[in-house]
Amino acid sequence: MKNLVQNNILHLKPYIPGKPITEVQRELALEEVTKLASNENPCGPSPKAIQAIQEALPEIHRYPDGSGFYLKKSLEQKLKINADQIILGNGTNEILEIAVRTFLSPGDETISGMPAFIIYYILTQAANGKNVQIPLKNYTHDLDAMAAAITPQTKLIFIANPNNPTGTMVGKEQMVKFLQKVSKNIVVIIDEAYYEYVEDDNFPDTLSYLKDNPSQPILIMRTFSKMYGLAGLRIGYGIGPADLISLMNRVRQPFNVNTLALTAAQAALEDEEHLSRSRRINASGYQYLCREFKRMKLSNIPSYANFILVDVGRDAKIFSDQLLREGVIVRPMSGYGLTTSVRITIGLKEENLKLIQAMEKVL
């Protein structure tokens, strides 16, 4: 079969997802499994979103609203932008794929940090492009080095802020200085999947920058998978200049976001109480886990997201497997070159306690 595909596809390693919790329970004969590996909101979805889904169920024999009209209207009012500046996707992964298909030709280059979200590399390679990976500086995007790496072949730049898997943040001044350096022939994608968790005044106001620089090709990416707790429905959105969004809509497939996702996202967007509770639980869990890691003499990277990168001082894959047998799932970061580090999602109080008890037993 190898002769059927191009070399750029042949050399890609497929993303390997974790097993379902029920299968892990069955294989290891565990009564209960705590999943702290995928940066999901442990509080679950908004009750308003659940109610909206239930009310929409009788209509799922109809195709979804292909324009996402009502959700875009809600985003328009909340973010004070125009609906034609918004593109909806089956998760932000699809929006990233649309951007690559729209703006990248074979042989073109993209720039991203390393380590950062692995999909940036996968999509570039799949499009027969070259992903230039710039090592992080102090576990944060090195924007000066990324600017220096720009060539005439550069078409896309990816900045995850906060970054996955480190949880670190690029500040306002750094971001603005970088954006001012970048040619208008390059699309800068600012992936803000975790921005709702950030409670730091130095976090860049990318929407204001876009409003002040309407002709600069910037794509701001946000999702309903994290803070909003709708990961299973796969829905995200991108914000950019109307002309840029129009070009991407030429590539976007019709009916790419399903009815239940559209309905739930619109309801979740209006539930500020659920967001506040989720943010409080995340902040409390973060403080608790950092204290416990310090007590256990483990180092971790300060995080602005809903997860923590922890150096456990031993093979991360072996450590994660040992934790799994204690009923706790975390994500080893060996694939990012962080061979002794794991990424741990901040859970509910009882989940965090179970994690620490399991880690103490394994360590």
Q: Are β-strands 328-329 and 331-332 bridged in parallel, bridged antiparallel, or unpaired?
A: unpaired
- The separation between CA 222 and the C-alpha centre of its own chain, rounded to angstroms, equals 8
Which residue reads 């995200």 in tokens?
Answer: 236
Q: Among 2-6, 49-53, 185-189, 209-213, which is the least confidently predicted range?
A: 2-6
Same domain, 76 and 11: no
| DSSP assigned state of 137 | B
pLDDT at 6: 80
pLDDT at 175: 98
Final residue belonging to a domain, choices 251, 269, 287? 269
Same domain, 56 and 161: yes
Backbone CA torsion sign across 301, 304, 309, 310: positive
Same domain, 238 and 95: yes
Mean pLDDT of 89-114: 98
Same domain, 28 and 89: no
Same domain, 205 and 301: no
Residue 8 has pLDDT above 90, yes or no: no
For residue range 241-254, what is the model confidence (pLDDT) as tens digits?
999 999 999 999 99
Same domain, 61 and 157: yes
For residue range 76-89, what is the model confidence (pLDDT) as tens digits?
999 999 999 999 99
Q: Are β-strands 187-191 and 218-223 bridged in parallel, bridged antiparallel, or unpaired?
A: parallel
Domain span including residue 332: 2-44+273-362
What is the crossing angle of helices 242-249 and 91-103, to 10°? 90
pLDDT level of residue 20 (50, 70, 90 thresholds) = confident
- At 308, is the secondary structure helix, strand, or coil? strand
Domain CATH code at residue 157: 3.40.640.10
Domain CATH code at residue 296: 3.90.1150.10
Final residue belonging to a domain, choices 269, 294, 321? 269
For residue range 167-205, what is the model confidence (pLDDT) as tens digits?
999 999 999 999 999 999 999 999 999 999 999 999 999
pLDDT level of residue 335 (50, 70, 90 thresholds) = confident
Residue 108 has pLDDT above 70, yes or no: yes
pLDDT level of residue 17 (50, 70, 90 thresholds) = low
Same domain, 222 and 279: no
Same domain, 201 and 164: yes
Mean pLDDT of 152-171: 98
Final residue belonging to a domain, choices 269, 292, 321? 269
**CB within 8 A of 9, min separation 6: which ones?**
125, 126
Same domain, 144 and 225: yes
Same domain, 19 and 92: no
Residue 160 has pLDDT above 80, yes or no: yes
For residue range 281-325, what is the model confidence (pLDDT) as tens digits?
999 999 999 999 999 999 999 999 999 999 999 999 999 999 999
pLDDT at 31: 79
Same domain, 171 and 54: yes
**CB within 8 A of 149, min separation 6: which ones?**
111, 132, 134
Same domain, 265 and 277: no
The CA dihedral of 256, 261, 266, 269, to the nearest 10 degrees, is: -110
Structure tokens at 4: 């059927």
Mean pLDDT of 332-361: 97
**Mean pLDDT for all residues in the chain:** 95
First to last CA, the chain: 45
Residue 7 has pLDDT above 90, yes or no: no
Query: CA-based diameter of the chain, in Å?
Result: 57
Mean pLDDT of 227-238: 98
Give the DSSP H or E segment for 128: none
Let me know: does 15 contact 118? Beta carbons within 8 Å: yes
Structure tokens at 207: 């929407």
pLDDT at 4: 74
pLDDT at 313: 96
The total number of structural domains in the chain stands at: 2
**CB within 8 A of 71, min separation 6: which ones?**
88, 237, 262, 265, 266, 269
Share of the chain above pLDDT 90, in %: 90
Give the DSSP H or E segment for 156: strand 154-160
Mean pLDDT of 8-19: 71
Let me know: does 166 contact 309? Beta carbons within 8 Å: yes
